[in-house]
Structure 1
Amino acid sequence: MTSTISLANVSKVYSDVPAIEDISFTLDEGELVALVGHNGAGKTTLIKAILGLIRPTAGTVRVLGEDSVSGNLGVRKEVGYLPESVSFHLALTGREVLSFYARLKRVPLDRWQNLFDQVGLSQSAADRPVRTYSKGMRQRLGLAQALLGKPRLLLLDEPTSGLDPALRRSFYDLILEFKREGTTVLLSSHALSELEERAERVVIVNQGRKIADGTLDELRRVACLPTHIRFKPSASAAVDTWSNGSVKWLERKDQFLEADVDHKEKIAVLSAVTSDPAALTSMTIIEPTLDDVYAHFLQGQGTRP
């Protein structure tokens, strides 16, 4: 599989203050990777280094096989970027804005006109001045310019900011379509619940350093966080059936039993609980969320999320 991005021991120092330190990872073709960290953790600096907007103090950044995005027109045309705060000339219409960026990327007219519909902007809105746009509409216009030319790499910084829930879902549907076609997506966001079911991999940064990197299941195993199991026995079942093991079940007023189970014991406990399906009326299994995993790794670094 081809690496779209390769970072090796990348650091950036401003006036003796490190913004990012010794960060290494690769992103492969068609991956959707979440870049997670609190404000000031180094996410935006990392994205700027990948874009070639800043030069690392140490280490190397390679994008699509080249050392620098900024100095290579061919690579720049293959990269789409949506900053956290989009800003366009307020007197221009949405169509004029997109036409301007299309000319910069040398994207033919017939390759971008349908982007308004794709990002949820009507054709009538496309012909209105940007000053009349809401925050969400400007965000959608920013996404449209990032998608110009079907880029091989998408760098998205808080891309769903200002979007309502329905548009957030359509945004991710669109991004996943690009991913299926081979586009690599690096997505930085604080909306962890949105990323949980969509990102194949999570990179967590804190105080300029990478502190975790892997799939959510891998990070759960490393964190050793418990799984919450809740079930309701049938009227004919004896509660003592589950009370004699190592897991201490808490009986709630609604007659549900619940416990936090160590990940190493989870399969054995589930096997015991479900051995007689007739003894259960309902069951819920709650795995540690990305929020839980993120908080765990930050606490390990002595930082509150």
Structure 2
Amino acid sequence: MSAIVHLHSAVALIGRFPALAGVDLDVDPGEILLLRGPNGAGKTTLLGVCAGLIGLSSGEAVVLGEDLTSHRRAVRRRVGLLGHDSFLYQDLSVVENLDFWSRAAAATVADGRAALDRLGVASRLFELPVHALSAGQRRRVSFAAMICRRPELWLLDEPHAGLDSAGRDLVDGLMQEAAASGATVMFASHELDRAENVAHRAVTISGGVILPASQPEPASQPEPASQPEP
């Protein structure tokens, strides 16, 4: 079985700083992989590399069968990246955003509406501009825009951020459903009690490298708790 993600001695520079300093990682089809580690460890950069958005300065990166050292753009339509910042158009309404992202992925308007329903986005919010939504509502709409594209690889950075308990449970269910249907999920989280219950496997990143399984995770400042959705 070929790995969905294969990284070998992967080095990625942000400016002159080695955000990844020689990462070796293989992720199997249908796996849910938790990336844990302190702030600034390289988790976000690793997700960006797998999304084809950040290039390597050296090493190997093969994602979904594509060599990212020469074909980074080739994977972008096949992955779903959800980071700290919303990729939604703030002045467009909820449904306008979903229609746009559905068309961009050759999905249908019905796919977008179904995704909104799956994320529990109330119909009263559909015509509101995204900038008028709460953080939790924006997070749900962002997830809807991502899943309507049916990505083969989910790349999630703190996916529970901004969500209440019900929203977090919903996200956990989405990740499990995606993996059960054959997609692969990689996500970074500081909410380890919850995240480790969802993940099939966890790796620890520190200083731009993946630590051996026997090495303890470096201490990190605790993250502020996500605020409940209004």
Task: Provide TM-score, normalisation by structure 1.
Answer: 0.68
Change (3 A) 1:87 1:76: closer
SS in 2 for 1:12: strand
Q: What stretches of structure 2 of length at least 5 have no aligned partner?
A: 223-230
Q: Which residue in the other structure is 2:182 paired with? A: 182
Could you tell me whether the CA contact under 8 Å between 1:3 and 1:26 is conserved in 2? yes
SS in 1 for 2:176: helix
Name the CA distance, whole Å, in 1 between partners of 2:33 and 2:133. Answer: 30
Name the CA distance, whole Å, in 1 between partners of 2:93 and 2:178. Answer: 26
1:96-115 counterparts in 2 under 5 A? 96-115=96-115
| Count of aligned residue pairs for this structure pair | 220
Change (3 A) 1:150 1:16: closer
Shift of 1:97: 0.7
Q: Which residue in the other structure is 1:256 paired with? A: none
Could you tell me whether the CA contact under 8 Å between 1:7 and 1:61 is conserved in 2? yes
Name the CA distance, whole Å, in 1 between partners of 2:104 and 2:218. Answer: 41
Change (3 A) 1:92 1:21: same
Shift of 1:135: 0.4
Could you tell me whether the CA contact under 8 Å between 2:205 and 2:211 is conserved in 1? yes
Q: Which residue in the other structure is 1:47 paired with? A: 47
SS in 2 for 1:298: coil
Q: Which residue in the other structure is 1:270 paired with? A: none
Name the CA distance, whole Å, in 1 between partners of 2:87 and 2:111. Answer: 23
Q: Counterpart amino acid of 1:43? A: K
Shift of 1:304: 7.3
Q: Which residue in the other structure is 1:71 paired with? A: 73
Considering only aligned residues, what root-mean-square deviation do their CA atoms show, in Å? 1.9
Change (3 A) 1:89 1:298: same
Change (3 A) 1:297 1:91: closer
SS in 2 for 1:160: coil
Shift of 1:87: 4.5
Shift of 1:180: 0.6
SS in 2 for 1:113: helix
Could you tell me whether the CA contact under 8 Å between 1:130 and 1:138 is conserved in 2? yes
Structure 1 residue 131 corresponds to structure 2 residue 131: yes
CA-to-aligned-CA distance 1:76-124 (integer Å, 9 cap, x gap): 3321111112153322111111111122222223333200111110122
Shift of 1:134: 0.4
Q: Which residue in the other structure is 1:160 paired with? A: 160
Name the CA distance, whole Å, in 2 between partners of 1:83 and 1:304. Answer: 20
1:258-277 counterparts in 2 under 5 A? none
Q: What stretches of structure 1 of length at least 5 have no aligned partner?
A: 214-221, 224-295
Q: Which residue in the other structure is 1:59 paired with? A: 59
Name the CA distance, whole Å, in 2 between partners of 1:168 and 1:15. Answer: 35
Change (3 A) 1:212 1:145: farther
SS in 2 for 1:138: helix
Q: Which residue in the other structure is 1:227 paired with? A: none
Could you tell me whether the CA contact under 8 Å between 1:3 and 1:28 is conserved in 2? yes
Name the CA distance, whole Å, in 1 between partners of 2:157 and 2:50. Answer: 13
1:1-305 counterparts in 2 under 5 A? 1-68=1-68, 70-72=72-74, 75-213=75-213, 222=214, 296-298=216-218
SS in 1 for 2:107: coil
Could you tell me whether the CA contact under 8 Å between 2:151 and 2:183 is conserved in 1? yes
Q: Which residue in the other structure is 2:227 paired with? A: none
Could you tell me whether the CA contact under 8 Å between 1:32 and 1:179 is conserved in 2? yes
Change (3 A) 1:173 1:57: same
Could you tell me whether the CA contact under 8 Å between 2:86 and 2:139 is conserved in 1? yes
Could you tell me whether the CA contact under 8 Å between 1:20 and 1:45 is conserved in 2? yes
Name the CA distance, whole Å, in 2 between partners of 1:10 and 1:62. Answer: 11
Q: Counterpart amino acid of 1:211? A: L
Change (3 A) 1:129 1:118: same
User: Kindly, what percent of the aligned residue pairs are identical?
Assistant: 32
Q: Counterpart amino acid of 2:9? A: N
